[in-house]
Amino acid sequence: MIKFPYGLCDFYRIQTNHYFYVDRTNHIRLIEDYGNQLIFLRPRRFGKSLLLSMLENYYDVAKADEFEKLFGHLAIGKNPTPLHNQYFVMKWDFSAVSPVGDSQQIGQNLTDHINERIDNFADYYQSILSRSISIYPENAQASFQSLLTAVQKTPYRLYLLIDEYDNFANELMIGHRKESPSRYQTLLSGEGAVKALFKAVKFAASGHGLERVFITGVSPVVLTDMSSGYNVAENIYLRHEFNDLCGFLETEMVETLNQVAKECDFTEHQVQQALQLMRSFYNGYCFSPKSKELIYNPTLVLYFIKSFQQDCEFPNEMLDENLVMDRGKLTYISELSKGEQVIVQAINNEPLTLMRLANRFGVEDMLSTVKDTRFMISLLYYFGILTLNGETELGEFCFKIPNLVVRSLYVERLFDKLLPQEEREDVQLMAKHFYQTGDLQPICDFMEQHYFKVFDNRDYRIANELTIKTAFLTLLFDELFYIVDSETEVEKRYADLTFIIRPERRSLPLHDFIIEFKYLGLKEMGLSSENLREMRVNELFACASIKQKLAESKQQLLDYQTRLQSKSGEKLRLQLISVVAVGFERVVWQRV
CATH code where residue 396 lies = 1.10.10
Q: Please, where are the H alpha helices in 44-139? A: 48-59, 67-71, 75-78, 103-124
Number of domains in the chain: 4
Which of 367, 402, 418 is a domain's end point?
Answer: 418
CATH number, position 183: 3.40.50.300
Contacts of 190 (CB under 8 A, 6+ apart): none
Q: What is the pLDDT of residue 546?
A: 94
Residues 363 and 471 in one domain: no
| 316 exposure class (CB count in 10 Å sphere: 0-12, 13-18, 19+) | exposed
Residue 484 forms beta bridges with which residues? 499
Residues 151 and 238 in one domain: yes
Which of 391, 418, 445 is a domain's end point?
Answer: 418
Residues 548 and 440 in one domain: yes
Residues 141 and 227 in one domain: yes
Residues 37 and 120 in one domain: yes
Q: What is the pLDDT of residue 220?
A: 85
Residue 97 falls inside a structural domain: yes
- The DSSP 8-state label assigned to residue 174 in this structure reads I
Three-state DSSP class for 74? coil
Residue 16 falls inside a structural domain: yes
Residues 492 and 560 in one domain: yes
Q: What is the pLDDT of residue 457?
A: 42
**Cβ–Cβ < 8 Å for 362, 344:** no
Residues 508 and 410 in one domain: no
Residues 405 and 437 in one domain: no
Three-state DSSP class for 233? coil
CA pair distance 427, 447, nearest whole angstrom: 10
Three-state DSSP class for 185? helix
Residue 5 falls inside a structural domain: no
Where in the sequence is the domain holding 557, given as residue range(s)?
A: 420-592
Residues 258 and 351 in one domain: no
The 10 Å Cβ neighbour count of residue 554 is: 16
Residue 120 falls inside a structural domain: yes
Three-state DSSP class for 577? strand
Question: What angle in degrees, to the nearest 10, is found between the helix axes of 181-188 and 193-204?
Answer: 20
Which of 418, 441, 464 is a domain's end point?
Answer: 418
Residues 208 and 172 in one domain: yes
Residue 219 falls inside a structural domain: yes
State the pairing for strand pair 512-520/493-501.
antiparallel
Three-state DSSP class for 422? helix
Q: What is the pLDDT of residue 143?
A: 97
Q: What is the pLDDT of residue 179?
A: 53
Query: Which of the residues in the chain have pLDDT under 50?
Result: 456-458, 460
CA pair distance 479, 482, nearest whole angstrom: 5
- C-alpha distances in angstroms, 432 versus 108, 300, 435, 440? 53, 27, 5, 10
Residues 351 and 444 in one domain: no
Contacts of 422 (CB under 8 A, 6+ apart): none
User: What are the two backbone dihedrals, phi and then psi, of residue 231, each rounded to the nearest 5 degrees?
Assistant: -115, 30
Residues 275 and 375 in one domain: no
CA pair distance 562, 121, nearest whole angstrom: 66
**In terms of pTM, does the model score above 0.85?**
yes
Residue 6 falls inside a structural domain: no
Residue 56 falls inside a structural domain: yes
**Cβ–Cβ < 8 Å for 98, 106:** yes
**Cα atoms found within 13 Å of the Cα of residue 115, Cβ hemisphere only:** 15
Residue 333 falls inside a structural domain: yes
